[in-house]
């Protein structure tokens, strides 16, 4: 693979102790928020495994390490002893924790296997492909709403509505409630940010309670009058005689609504920014289904919507030379960093849809590989192709701005004109 002609310059905000391999990077530091890749490039050359003091655990920056650790069964998502088993002072998060402890994202086999098998049927590629006409119609309707203005903030007007409407329609939840669903989702997802405040925690807990109550009422209606939506299918689904419990059902619906739009919203904005900054001819990028798919894959690699995924060690394990984790300790996998690793990619900082080494870890790997990946890919292929076809002269109206939301990585605003 290619190498930088010289080692990248260390950003001023990055502090490194070579003796201990400890790194300090404030994830709220404005330069890092707007361009974390400068830090990642330096880490690739100097500290591919490091202890991130701001988070308090060891992290991996390289593609191969991340890919292997996703599949390493010595590590997993489920906290030893059970979800938040050793946590204290969390009574104010009772409703939030009540949702999270049943999440597929937070559990391991055999429960994970049962839940994922029940849900996966709705997300296989052949099922998702049936949504293509609906997504295209929705994208065109949204563009109809702002095309005459000559300018738009793409995030609220286009990137956000498509995935939330699609997942709401899949579940059978009224799309009129989309603004409320978004509000609940944003408040819950804020819990994953670095150093969440008590205000954020209280808001997330209230959102979890309201979201759960809403879905319980809706599930009760669907039991009496089932339809052909995903909620009805989940209510009826069985695997070897085992059904979803009420709590598992509610958590799964919340997870699908949250995960079904948060990452796709960010990735849509990131992709448009990457394409516009690349200077490539979008008529070529979206000329065929194959070139469209390749453009989306390169967007996922080049500027991923999720930059960190954590796992627990289940036994005392040496993770690198001189670095041993005790059982129950966490490690961080830096997905955005891995996707720009010069040891895994030729010209990693070039937006290059035809690259011969096309791959990414943006959806994870192993048993927790993102269940919604086929849907996210389809939504982006259809929406991006429609956008650039309808608005061929689209360009930046203002410099794009990322939100201070690490480890999520997406546009706070993306103001465009044509």
Yes or no: say if 376 and 132 are a contact pair by the CB < 8 Å rule.
no
State the DSSP H helix or E strand holding residue 416, giving kind and residue range, or none if neither. Answer: strand 415-417
Yes or no: say if 363 and 340 are a contact pair by the CB < 8 Å rule.
no
Report the 10 Å Cβ neighbour count for 215.
24
Of 184, 7, 21, whose CA–CA distance to 99 is shortest? 184
SS3 151: strand
Query: Is residue 6 included in any domain, yes or no?
Result: no
CATH number, domain at 231? 1.10.630.10
Looking up tokens 């119609």 gives 137
Query: Is residue 223 included in any domain, yes or no?
Result: yes
Could you list the residue range(s) of the whole structural domain that residue 392 is in? Answer: 15-417
Question: What pLDDT shows up at residue 138?
Answer: 98
> Per the structure, how many domains does the chain have?
1
Question: What pLDDT shows up at residue 63?
Answer: 98
Query: Is residue 1 included in any domain, yes or no?
Result: no
Question: What pLDDT shows up at residue 25?
Answer: 98
Of 61, 12, 24, 21, whose CA–CA distance to 41 is shortest? 61
Question: What pLDDT shows up at residue 238?
Answer: 67
Residues 6+ apart with CB under 8 A from 176: none
Query: Is residue 5 included in any domain, yes or no?
Result: no
The residues that bridge with 401 in the sheet, in sequence order, are 413
Yes or no: say if 369 and 363 are a contact pair by the CB < 8 Å rule.
yes
Please, which contacts does 106-111 make with residues 24 or more away whose CB atoms are closer than 8 Å? 106/77, 106/78, 106/79, 107/77, 107/78, 107/83, 108/76, 108/77, 108/78, 108/367, 109/367
b (16+ CB within 10 A) / e for 299-333: bbbbbbbbbbbebbbbeebebeeeeebeeebbbbb
Q: Tell me the residue ranges of DSSP E strands in 200-308.
A: 238-239, 242-243
Yes or no: say if 402 and 410 are a contact pair by the CB < 8 Å rule.
yes
Query: Is residue 250 included in any domain, yes or no?
Result: yes
b (16+ CB within 10 A) / e for 250-260: bbbbbbbbbbb
State the DSSP H helix or E strand holding residue 284, giving kind and residue range, or none if neither. Answer: helix 282-285
Query: Is residue 8 included in any domain, yes or no?
Result: no
Query: Is residue 2 included in any domain, yes or no?
Result: no
Q: What is the mean pLDDT of each run of 10 residues along the chain (418 residues)?
A: 69 97 97 98 97 98 97 94 79 94 92 89 83 97 98 97 93 91 93 90 97 94 90 80 86 88 93 98 96 98 97 95 94 98 97 97 95 94 98 97 95 97
Q: Which two tokens stand for residue 400?
A: 């794009």
Query: Is residue 4 included in any domain, yes or no?
Result: no
Q: What is the pTM of this model?
A: 0.94
How far apart (Å, rounded) are the C-alpha atoms in residues 338 and 364?
11
Question: What pLDDT shows up at residue 146?
Answer: 98
């Amino acid at each position: 693979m290619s190498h930088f002609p010289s080692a990248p310059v260390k950003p001023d905000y990055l502090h490194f102790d070579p003796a201990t391999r400890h790194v300090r990077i404030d994830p709220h530091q404005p330069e890092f928020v707007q361009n974390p890749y400068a830090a990642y490039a330096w880490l690739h050359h100097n500290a591919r495994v490091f202890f991130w003091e701001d988070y308090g655990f060891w992290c991996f920056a390289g593609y191969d390490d991340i890919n292997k650790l996703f599949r390493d069964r010595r590590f997993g998502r489920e906290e030893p002893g059970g979800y938040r088993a050793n946590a204290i002072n969390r009574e104010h998060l009772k409703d939030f924790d009540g949702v999270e402890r049943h999440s597929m994202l937070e559990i391991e086999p055999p429960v994970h296997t049962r839940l994922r098998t029940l849900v996966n049927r709705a997300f296989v590629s052949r099922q998702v492909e049936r949504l293509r006409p609906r997504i295209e119609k929705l994208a065109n309707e949204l563009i109809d709403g702002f095309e005459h203005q000559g300018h738009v903030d793409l995030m609220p007007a286009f990137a956000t509505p498509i995935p939330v409407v699609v997942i709401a329609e899949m579940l059978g939840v009224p799309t009129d409630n989309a603004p409320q669903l978004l509000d609940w989702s944003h408040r819950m997802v804020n819990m994953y940010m670095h150093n969440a405040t008590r205000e954020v925690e209280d808001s997330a807990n209230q959102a979890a309670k309201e979201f759960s109550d809403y879905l319980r009422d809706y599930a009760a209606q669907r039991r009496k009058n089932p339809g052909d939506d995903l909620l009805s299918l989940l209510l009826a689904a069985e695997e070897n005689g085992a059904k979803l419990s009420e709590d598992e059902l509610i958590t799964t619906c919340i997870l699908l609504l949250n995960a079904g739009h948060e990452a796709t919203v960010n990735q849509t904005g990131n992709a448009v920014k990457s394409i516009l900054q690349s200077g490539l001819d979008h008529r070529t990028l979206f000329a065929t289904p194959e070139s469209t798919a390749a453009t989306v894959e390169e967007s996922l690699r080049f500027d991923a919507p999720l930059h960190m995924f954590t796992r627990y060690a289940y036994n005392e394990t040496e993770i690198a030379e001189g670095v041993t984790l005790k059982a129950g300790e966490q490690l961080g996998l830096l997905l955005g960093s891995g996707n720009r690793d010069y040891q895994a990619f030729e010209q990693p900082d070039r937006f290059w849809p035809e690259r011969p080494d096309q791959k990414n870890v943006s959806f994870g790997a192993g048993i927790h590989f993102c269940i919604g990946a086929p849907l996210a890919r389809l939504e982006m292929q259809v929406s991006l192709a429609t956008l650039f076809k309808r608005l061929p002269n689209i360009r930046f109206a203002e410099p794009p701005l990322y939100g201070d939301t690490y480890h999520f990585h997406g546009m706070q605003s993306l103001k465009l004109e044509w």
